[in-house]
Amino acid sequence: MKRSSVSSRLMLGAVIYLVILGAAAIAAPVISPYSPTDQHLENRFAPPGHKYILGTDNFGRDNFSRMIYGSRSALLVGIVSVSIAVTIGITVGIIAALSTGIIDNILMLLMDSVLSFPTILLAITVVSFLGYGLLQVMTAIGVIFSPVFARLVRAEALSIKTEEYVEASRAMGSPAVKIVFLHIMPNLMGKVVVQASITFALSIVIEASLSYLGLGTQPPTPSWGLMLKDARNYLVQAPWMSIYPGLALAMTVLSFNIIGDTLSEKINPRIVKK
Amino acid sequence: MPLIIFIIKRFFRLILTVLLVSTIIFFVIRVIPGDPAAVIAGIDATQADVAAIRAQLGTDKPISVQYIHWLRSVALFDFGNSMITGEPVTKQILKRFPITLTLATLGILMGMLIAIPLGVISAVKRWSPVDYFGMLLSQIGMAVPSFWLGIILLLLFAVKIHIFPLFGSGGIKYYILPSLSLGLARAAVILRLTRASMVEELSKEYIITARAKGLTERLVKYKHALKNALIPVITVSGIQFGYMLGGAIIIEQVFSLPGLGRLFLTGIYQRDFTLIQGGVVFIAFVFSLINFLVDILYSVLNPKIRVG
C-alpha cells in the first residue's frame, strides 16, 4: 500500500471518530442510556454486560453515559483553550513582528520564559492560584499555550512581510491594518490550523491530567480524567473503569495528532520526501 | 566565542530565570485573595491569634521588606517553614527529591533505550516493517497520556500477573512501571528525532565520500553517520529529562511514590503557600540547571552553536 493512501485512510478514520464524538457530545441527553450522575448503589461495580454496556463504577453510575457526557468537558476544553491561545498568540505574534527592537524583544523574552517550563507544572501552579474547576483550567491552558502560537505567527509574519506582493501593497500606500488582514493573516492561517489541531489534543490531555489530580473538573460533573481518578482505587474490583475512559482519551488525542500531521504534510510537502 | 565566555553568559541567564520565577511566584501569592495567616489560624481564631501568626510569617511587614527577605532566602536556598507541618521546606524537598530524580533518570534511560536503536534502524531501513512499527509506536506514545499508561501497566503487571507492586516505594521494583510510563511518551519524541537526524546525516556529502573511499556500509552508517546524528538526539533527550520533572508529578500520584511531585501536590491541596513557593522555585531551578548543562554539552559537541 502506498504511503499517501495509508495517511489518507488514517485521516479519514480520525475525522470519522471525531465527528462521532462531537455528535455524541451534542446529543448526550438523547443517546445516554442512563443519567451520568444517578447512583444505582445496588449495582456497584457491575461488569460490562447487557444492562450496562461498559459497566458501572463505585457508585453504580453507568460508565458509558459518563463517558458520553465526559466528551463534552473534553471538547469544550479543547475549543475554549485553543481559542484563547490562538487569539492571544496571533495578537502578540503580529505585534512583535510589526514592531522591531525593544517591544519585540520583551514580548519574545516573556513568551520564551513560559515556553521553557513543563506545561503540566505551569498548569498545576496556575490552577492552584486561580482555583479548581473547568473554567479556570481552560483559561490556564489557553494562556500557557499562547506563546507557541505567538512564536509561530511572529516567524511566519516576518517572512511574509518581506514578500514582494506585501512590499508592493505597502508601496501603493495600503495602511498597516489592511496589510495585516489582507496579506499576512490569510497566509499564516495554514500553519496556525496545524498547530491548533495538535494543541487541541494537548489541552485535552492536560485537562484530564488536572482532573485526575483533583484540580480540574469537579465531581459530580463527568470528565474522563475524573473517571480515571476514581478507577485507580478500584483496579482489582473494576478494571473496566480504567480501560474505557482512557481509551476514549487516547483515541481523541491520536485523531487530532493524525489530522495535524496530515495537514502539515499537505501544507509543507517537502517533509514527506524525508 | 570561547567556551568559558559562553558558559558564563549562559550561567547569567540561569540566574536570571530563577530570579524571574522567584519574583513572579512571590507577587502572585500576594495578590491572590485570602490571608495565609487566617488560613493557618483556622475559623475559630481571634484577631490576636491571626496577628501573631502574621508576625511569625513576616506578612505584617511592608511588601518591599518581604520581597528582599524572600530573595535572600532564595539565594540561601532556605525557603522557610511549612505553614501546615512547621517543618523546614528545604529539608522536605531534599528528602523527597532523590525519589523523583531516580524516577526521571530511569524514565529517560528507558526512553532512550527504546527510541535510539529503533530510530536508527528505521532510518537505515526506511519504509520497512521495522520503520512502520516505529511510527506506530511513536504515534501511540504521543497519544497515550502517561498517567493512563501507568494505570494500564498496573492493571497488567500488578493486578493480572503479580510481577510488580500495586503501589508504594522501596526497592527498584517500585520504579520500573512508573519510569516506563514516563519513558514511553519521551521515547516517541526521541524516536522521531533520531530517525529524522539519521536520515539527514545519511544524505550528506561526506557519506558519499566515505562510500567512494570504499569503506564498508557498516562503518559508513554506524560509525560516521551515527556519531553525528546522535548530537541533536542527546541534547533533546536532556531537555526531555527536564520535562520529566513535570510528568513525574502525576506519575508519582498514580503509583503513590512519595517524591517531590507528591510533596508539591500536598502543598497545593493544603494551600501551604510556603511549600508551594519553595517547590516552584526549586523545580524551576533544577529545570533551568538541566537546560544549562544541556546547552553546554551541545556547544561542546557542536561548536558552531556558540557563534550565535
Query: Taking CB atoms and an 8 Å limit, are A129 and B32 in contact across chains?
Result: yes
pLDDT tier at B307, thresholds 50, 70, 90: low
Mean pLDDT calculated for residue range B193-207: 90
The pLDDT score that the predictor gives to residue B198 is 92
Per-residue model confidence as pLDDT tens digits over A32-50: 888 888 888 888 888 888 8
The pLDDT score that the predictor gives to residue A258 is 92
The pLDDT score that the predictor gives to residue B306 is 61
Between residues B282 and A271, the one the model is more confident about: B282
Flag the least confident range among A177-181, B56-60, B298-302.
Answer: B56-60
pLDDT tier at B271, thresholds 50, 70, 90: confident
Mean pLDDT, chain B, whole residue set:
86
Per the CB < 8 A criterion, the answer to whether A51 and A228 are in contact is: no
pLDDT at A182 over 80: yes
pLDDT at B224 over 80: yes
pLDDT tier at A77, thresholds 50, 70, 90: very high
Long-range interactions of B121-129: CB distance < 8 A, separation 24+: B122/B191, B122/B194, B122/B195, B123/B194, B123/B195, B123/B196, B123/B197, B123/B198, B123/B199, B123/B202, B123/B229, B124/B198, B124/B202, B124/B221, B126/B199, B127/A3
For residue A218, is it left (φ>0), alpha (ψ between -120 and 50) or beta? beta
The pLDDT score that the predictor gives to residue A274 is 38
Flag the least confident range among A210-214, A219-223, B82-86.
Answer: B82-86
Per-residue model confidence as pLDDT tens digits over B161-178: 888 887 767 778 889 999
Question: What is the spatial distance between Cα A177 and Cα A179, in angstroms, rounded to a whole number?
Answer: 5
The pLDDT score that the predictor gives to residue A3 is 63
Per the CB < 8 A criterion, the answer to whether B232 and B295 are in contact is: no
Per-residue model confidence as pLDDT tens digits over B125-153: 988 999 999 988 998 998 999 999 999 99
Helix (H) or strand (E) holding B260: helix B260-269
Query: Taking CB atoms and an 8 Å limit, are B268 and A251 in contact across chains?
Result: no
Per-residue model confidence as pLDDT tens digits over A191-200: 899 999 999 9
The pLDDT score that the predictor gives to residue A273 is 41
The residue among B43, B41, B50, B1 whose CA lies nearest residue B300 is B1
User: Among partner residues A118, A213, A257, which is closest to B143 by beta-carbon distance?
Assistant: A257
The pLDDT score that the predictor gives to residue A169 is 86
The letter for the amino acid at A58 is N
- Please give the C-alpha separations between residue A228 and each of A109, A222, A243, in angstroms, as whole numbers: 38, 11, 8
Mean pLDDT calculated for residue range B33-46: 71
Most B CBs within 10 Å, among A6, A209, A237, to test the B interface? A209
For A74, residues 6+ apart whose C-beta sits below 8 A from its C-beta are: A204, A207, A208, A223, A224, A249, A252
The pLDDT score that the predictor gives to residue B308 is 43
Query: Taking CB atoms and an 8 Å limit, are A212 and B250 in contact across chains?
Result: yes
Sign of CA dihedral A221, A223, A225, A230: positive
pLDDT at B220 over 50: yes
Per the CB < 8 A criterion, the answer to whether B270 and B84 are in contact is: yes
What is the SS3 string spanning A141-203? HHHHHHHHHHHHHHHHHHHHHCCHHHHHHHHCCCCHHHHHHHHHHHHHHHHHHHHHHHHHHHH
pLDDT at B183 over 70: yes
Mean pLDDT calculated for residue range A121-131: 84
pLDDT at A110 over 50: yes
pLDDT at B97 over 60: yes
Q: Which residues of A67-101 are buried (b: 16+ CB within 10 A; e: fewer)?
A: bbbbbbbbbbbbebbbebbbebbbebbbbbbbeee
Q: Which domains does chain A have, with CATH numbers?
A: 3-28+61-267 (1.10.3720.10)
pLDDT at B112 over 60: yes
Chain B residues with CB-CB distance to A251 below 8 A: 143
Instruction: Calculate what percentage of chain A has a pLDDT beyond 90.
Output: 43
The pLDDT score that the predictor gives to residue B31 is 72
pLDDT at A209 over 90: yes
Sign of CA dihedral A33, A36, A39, A44: positive
Query: Taking CB atoms and an 8 Å limit, are A274 and B200 in contact across chains?
Result: yes
pLDDT at A229 over 70: yes
Per-residue model confidence as pLDDT tens digits over A165-178: 888 888 888 888 88
Per the CB < 8 A criterion, the answer to whether A174 and A115 are in contact is: no
Phi, then psi, of B81 in degrees rounded to 5: -105, 150
Instruction: Calculate what percentage of chain B has a pLDDT beyond 90.
Output: 31
Residue A128: closest C-alpha in chain B? B268
The pLDDT score that the predictor gives to residue A203 is 95
* Min Cα separation B95/chain A (Å): 20
pLDDT at A142 over 90: yes
The pLDDT score that the predictor gives to residue A68 is 94
For B34, residues 6+ apart whose C-beta sits below 8 A from its C-beta are: B271
For A145, residues 6+ apart whose C-beta sits below 8 A from its C-beta are: A81, A82, A85, A89, A119, A199, A202, A203
Assign A62 to helix, strand or coil: strand
For A81, residues 6+ apart whose C-beta sits below 8 A from its C-beta are: A138, A141, A142, A145, A199, A203, A207
pLDDT tier at B222, thresholds 50, 70, 90: confident
**pTM here?**
0.88
The pLDDT score that the predictor gives to residue A272 is 44
Per-residue model confidence as pLDDT tens digits over B61-90: 888 888 898 899 888 888 888 888 889 999
Question: Chain A: which residues have CB within 8 Å of chain B?
Answer: 3, 113, 116-121, 124-125, 128-129, 201, 205, 208-209, 212-215, 228, 231-232, 235-236, 239, 242-243, 246, 249-251, 253-254, 257-258, 274
Mean pLDDT calculated for residue range B30-47: 72
The letter for the amino acid at B239 is I
The pLDDT score that the predictor gives to residue A80 is 97
Query: Taking CB atoms and an 8 Å limit, are B250 and A129 in contact across chains?
Result: no
